[in-house]
Amino acid sequence: MRQLIGLCLSASIVALWFTAAPCTASLDAGLVMTGGKVYTVVGDGWSSSPQEAIVIGLNGNILYVGTDAEAEKYKGGDALSVPLEGRAVLPGFTDTHCHPLEAMASQFSCQLFKEARADDFADELSRCAGEASKGTSWLLGAGHDINELLKDVAAGRMPVTVLDEKVSDRPAAMLEYQSHSAWLNSAALKEMGWESGGTPAGGVVQMSGGSPTGIVFENAVNMVFHKASGAIPADQTKEDLVEGLKPLSRAGITGIIDGRTYFSRQGNAEAWTSLKSEDRLPVRVVLTPWIHPEKEDDAQIAELKGYYSTGTGAEDLVRTLQVKIYSDGIIDQGTAALLSTYSAPAFSPDIIIVPAGTETSCEDGIDNDNNTLVDCLDPACSTSPSCGLNYFTKARLEKYIKALECDPGFDFHIHVIGDRACREALDAIQASNKCSGTKSPRHLLTHVWMVSDADVPRFGSLGVTADIQLQDEISELDEYNAAYQSLLATRSNNQASNNMFPVKRIADASGRVTLSSDYDVSPDPNPFIAIKRAVAEGQMTLEDAIEAHGREGAFAMRAEAVTGTLEVGKRGDIVVLDKDPFGVDTAQLDQIKALLTLLGGRQTHSQGGEFGSDVSIGTPLGSSSEGGMDGGAAGG
Ligand SMILES: [Zn+2]
C-alpha cells in the first residue's frame, strides 16, 4: 500500500506541476481528509461549528470542506485518503514578523551566549579566531547580551580591549542576540572610520574617556554587518535560508512577512526567488526592503520603487509589498523612543548611550546637517537621560510614506517600541494615507510595546495593524513589566498606560492585531506560545488569538484571497494538529504540535508516527520531515 501511494504520488506531482494527469483522481482530488475537526476560521463563532472533512485538489486548491458523507465522493482514483481520527485542522499559520535568513547566518564563526561578561568568551574567541573567516574578510559572531558587556564598561574593562586581545589581525564584529548592538575590535572600528568615534546615521558609537568602548548601537550595527556580509556567496545565503525556514514549517506556518530584507546585500533577496523557482520554498512570503537611514532620500526612494513586486498576484509565493523602516530602538539600552525622558532599566544612568538632542527647533523636523538623527525633539528630551533614539525623524518618515504608499503602493512595516515612536509613526501615516481602492494602505507597526492611551484608537481609525509578539523570550512579561514600572516611575510625564504589549487595548478599540514570533530573536516560532499567552493573560479569546496568527496575518500580507481561511477555491495552506486547541486547558496550548503542514497542497512538514508517516501530497520542498518522510518517498 505504501508503495502504491508512493507511485501514485509521483504521478500526482507531475499532475500538480506540469498539468499532465497520468494518475487522474476522482474529481481531480489529490488529498481527502475525513473524520476530523476542520476549523474553517470563516466569520465569527467558527470554533463552535467545525467541519468533518477537507479535500485538496491536484492543483493545490481546496476543493471541498464539509461532511464526511459528501467527501466520500472525492475518494477513489488516485486521491490519497487520510483519516484524521478526530484531529484538528486549521488554516496554515502566518508569522507577520520573523527573520528566517538571519536565523541561520552561517558566516557567524563565534558562538557567544547570554549571561556572560566579555572575558567569559576568551576560550570561544580564541577558538573561532583560529579558524578562517567564512566568506568575508571579517571575523563574525553572535549571541551575547548587551547588558553584560555594559557592566564591563561600567567597571572600566573596555570590550574593545578584550576583543583586541583575541583578534587583532582582521576586523571582528559580534552581533548581540537582540541585534540592536554589536561588539567590535579596533580593526573593525578603523574599517568603519570610527576609531575616534563617529556619528553614524540612526546609530551610536559608544565612547568612554574619549575613546570608543567597542560597543555600537542601532543603525551603526546595520552599517557594520552590511559591510562585513557583502562577500557571502549567494549559494550559501540560499542554503542558510532553507535551514532557517524549517522551524517555521515545523510550527505549521505557511505565510510570513520577512522582518527585514537587505536587497542591497548580496544574495539576500535572490535567495527567496531562487528557492521559489526551484520549488523549494515552503512558505509564501512578503519581502520587506530595508530603508537605510544613512542613504540619501531621493536616490533611495527611487531604488525602493524598483523593488516593488506583486508577482503574478496574491497566489505568488514571493512578493515585495512592504518596506521595513525602524523608528526607534529597544528599551533595555535606552534607544526606544519614549514620550519623556527615561533611564534604561537594565543599567545605571551614567552609561546612557543616547546623546541628548541638540537642536529643538528644526523647521521641517529634519536636522539638515545630519539629515537623519535624534534631534528636533521636545526640549524636555534634550537632557540626559534622553527620550531615546530615532532612526528617522517623524518628518522624514512621513516623506518616505508619501513617496511610496500610493505609487508603487508599498505598505510600511515600522519598528516601534516606545510610545513616542508609536505616536510619530501614526502621525506620519495620518499625514499620508491618501490612497484608496486596491492601494488603500495596510501599514503595520511591529512590536508596539508601549502605546499612549491617546493613540490606542488611532490603529482602528487609521486602518493600521498592530503586530505584537508574545513569545516568552521577547516578552518575559514579569521581568519587563517590573522594569517598565520602574521606568514609568522615573518619567516626569507619565502619559503611557500601564500594560506593555497592549493587544487587548488595541483590539477593544477596533484595531487589527496580528501575533508574530520575531523568530530568531525568539528561538521558537511556535504560534501556540503567543496564542497561549494572549488567552492566559485575558488579552484575547482563543478564537481571536488563532485569527491573529492566521486570518489577520493573511490580510496584512494582502493574501486573504488565497489563504488564511479554509474555503473552496483558496490554496491548500493547512496545518493538522496533534491536539484540538479547543479541547485542552489553556496551560497546555503551547504543547500542541503540528503533525502536517501543507502549502498549496504540498507537504512542507510531516511529523512521523502513526499519523504523519503516510500522509503526503506533492514533494516535501526540502523541508523538515521527522520520522522518515524525507525526500525520496514522494519525490519521485
Ligand atoms: Zn524583528
How many separate domains does the chain show?
3
Same domain membership, residue 601 and residue 518: no
Q: What is the CATH number of the domain that holds 274?
A: 3.20.20.140
* CATH at residue 575: 2.30.40.10
Can you tell me the mean pLDDT for 505-512?
96
Question: 150 C-alpha vs ligand 1 centroid, how far in Å?
Answer: 22
Full domain range(s) for residue 69 = 2-92+564-635
Which of these, 203, 197, 179, lies nearest to 374 by C-alpha position? 203
CA distances from 416 to 36, 113, 141, 444, 445 (A): 41, 26, 26, 10, 6
More confident residue, 529 or 133: 529
Local structure of 597: helix, strand or coil:
strand
String of DSSP letters for 128-145: HHTSPPSSSSSEEEE---
Please tell me whether residue 188 adopts helix, strand or coil conformation: helix
Please provide residue 298's backbone torsions phi and psi, each rounded to the nearest 5 degrees. -65, -40
Residues 239 and 310 in one domain: yes
Between 342 and 338, name the one with better pLDDT. 338
102 occurs within a structural domain: no
Partnered with residue 596 across adjacent β-strands are: 576, 606
For ligand 1, the distance from its centroid to the CA atom of residue 608, given in whole angstroms, is 31
Distance 346 CA to ligand 1 centre (A): 20
- State in Å: Cα 386 to ligand 1 middle: 24
Q: Is 195 exposed, middle or buried (0-12, 13-18, 19+ CB in 10 A)?
A: middle
Q: How far apart are the CA of 96 and the centre of ligand 1, in A?
A: 10
Residues 54 and 130 in one domain: no
Give me the DSSP letters along 58-119. Answer: TTSBEEEEE-HHHHGGG-STT-EEEE-TT-EEEEPEEEEEE-HHHHT-TTEEEE--SS--GG
Residue 368 pLDDT exceeds 80: no
In the block, cell 498539468 appears at: 19
What pLDDT score does 370 carry?
A: 38
Report the candidate in 349, 294, 284 with the shortest Cα–Cα distance to residue 317: 284
Q: d(Cα 291, Cα 297) in Å, to the nearest integer?
A: 10
Q: How far is CA 548 from CA 90, 493, 527, 533, 569, in A?
A: 13, 33, 10, 13, 22
| C-alpha span between 348 and 344 (Å, rounded) | 7
Query: 550 alpha carbon to ligand 1 midpoint, in Å?
Result: 18
Neighbours of 239 (CB within 10 A): 16
Q: Which of 228, 260, 286 is the last residue of a domain?
A: 228
Q: What is the pLDDT of residue 383?
A: 54
> Domain for residue 343, yes or no?
yes
Q: What is the model's pLDDT at position 199?
A: 80
Beta-sheet pairing, 574-577 with 594-599: antiparallel
Cell of 570: 483558496
HSE-CB of 13 using CA atoms within 13 angstroms: 19
Together in a domain, 281 and 342: yes
Over 50: is that where the pLDDT of 611 sits? yes
Q: Is residue 580 part of a domain?
A: yes
How far, rounded to the nearest angstrom, does the alpha carbon of residue 590 sit from its chain's CA centroid? 19
Measured in Å, residue 596 CA sits from the centre of ligand 1 at 27
Q: Is residue 68 part of a domain?
A: yes
Distance between Cα 98 and ligand 1 center (Å): 6
- 365, pLDDT greater than 80: no
259 with 362, same domain: the answer is yes
Which tens digits make up the pLDDT trace of 7-23? 333 333 333 333 333 34
Lowest mean pLDDT among 64-68, 407-411, 628-632: 628-632
Same domain, 83 and 224: no
Distance 533 CA to ligand 1 centre (A): 19
Dihedral sign of CA atoms 584, 548, 484, 174 in order:
positive
Confidence of residue 362 (pLDDT cuts 50, 70, 90): very low
Residue where a domain stops, chosen among 208, 228, 248: 228
CA of 404 to the centre of ligand 1 (A): 22
* Beta carbons within 10 angstroms of residue 369's beta carbon: 12
Dist CA 352 CA 419 (whole Å): 19
Helices 394-404 and 297-307: angle between axes, nearest 10 degrees: 40
* Confidence at residue 27, expressed as pLDDT on a 0 to 100 scale: 64
Helix (H) or strand (E) run with residue 595 in it: strand 594-599
Query: 521 C-alpha to center of ligand 1: Å?
Result: 7
- Predicted confidence band of residue 361 (pLDDT cuts 50, 70, 90): very low
Specify if 497 maps to a domain.
yes
- Residue 101 covered by a domain: no
Are both 123 and 249 inside the same structural domain? no
Q: 73 C-alpha to center of ligand 1: Å?
A: 46
User: What's the pLDDT band for 622 if we cut at 50, 70, 90?
Assistant: very low
CA of 405 to the centre of ligand 1 (A): 22
- Going from the Cα of 67 to the center of ligand 1, the distance in angstroms, rounded, reads 41
Distance (Å) from CA 426 to ligand 1 centroid: 19
Lowest mean pLDDT among 22-36, 131-145, 248-262, 535-549: 22-36
Domain shared by 521 and 612, yes or no? no
Q: What are phi and psi of 179, to 5 degrees?
A: 65, 20
Cα 64 to ligand 1 centroid, rounded to whole Å: 37
Q: How far is the CA of 97 from the centre of ligand 1 (A)?
A: 6
Cα 348 to ligand 1 centre (Å): 26
CA 442 to ligand 1 centroid distance, Å? 19
Grade residue 71 by pLDDT with cuts at 50, 70 and 90: very high
Percentage of the chain with pLDDT > 90? 58
Query: From the CA of 326, how far away is ligand 1's center (Å)?
Result: 10
Query: 609 CA to middle of ligand 1, Å?
Result: 34
CA of 519 to the centre of ligand 1 (A): 7
Kindly give the distance from the C-alpha atom of residue 441 to the centroid of ligand 1, in angstroms, as a whole number.
21
Q: Which residues surround ligand 1, an ion (CB under 5 A)?
A: 259, 518
State yes or no: pLDDT of 617 exceeds 80. Answer: no
CATH label of the domain that carries residue 170: 3.10.310.70
CA 180 to ligand 1 centroid distance, Å = 10
Calculate how far, in angstroms, residue 518's C-alpha sits from the geometric centre of ligand 1.
5
How far does the centroid of ligand 1 lie from the alpha carbon of residue 99, in Å? 7
Residues 615 and 537 in one domain: no
- Taking residues 88-112, report their average pLDDT: 91
Q: Verify cis geometry, omega within 30 degrees of 0, for the bond prior to 385.
A: yes
| Alpha helices (H) along 452-603 | 456-462, 477-490, 503-508, 527-536, 542-548, 551-556
pLDDT digits 0-9 by tens, 475-495: 454 555 555 555 555 443 333
Residue 7 CA to ligand 1 center (angstroms) comes to: 43
Q: Give the separation between CA 5 and CA 11, rounded to whole angstroms.
A: 10
Does the residue 147 lie in any domain?
yes
What pLDDT score was predicted for residue 482?
58
Statement to judge: residues 25 and 70 lie in one domain: yes
For residues 543 and 574, state if they share a domain.
no
Residue pair 449/518 in contact (Cβ under 8 Å)? The answer is: no
Find the 221 Cα to ligand 1 centroid distance in Å.
14
Q: How far, in Å, is the centroid of ligand 1 from the Cα of 155?
A: 31
Domain boundary, last residue among 228, 263, 285: 228
CA of 324 to the centre of ligand 1 (A): 10
Give the number of other Cβ atoms within 10 Å of residue 294's Cβ: 17
Q: Return the exposure string of 88-124: e unless at least 16 CB atoms fall within 10 Å of the residue's CB, then b.
A: bbbbbbbbbbbbbbbbbbebbbbebeeeebbeebeeb
| Whether the Cβ atoms of residue 146 and residue 333 lie closer than 8 Å to each other | yes
Q: Are 265 and 193 within one domain? A: no
**Average pLDDT of the residues of the chain:** 82
Helices 146-154 and 159-166, axial angle in degrees (round to 10): 100
Given a cut of 50, whether residue 307 has pLDDT beyond it is: yes
Confidence of residue 3 (pLDDT cuts 50, 70, 90): very low
Give yes or no for residue 316 having a pLDDT over 90: yes
Q: Residue 398 above 50 pLDDT?
A: yes
Of the candidates 54, 76, 60, the one whose C-alpha atom is nearest the C-alpha of residue 16 is 60
Check if the beta carbon of residue 320 is closer than 8 Å to that of residue 270: no
* Residue 271 included in any domain: yes
pLDDT at 496: 40
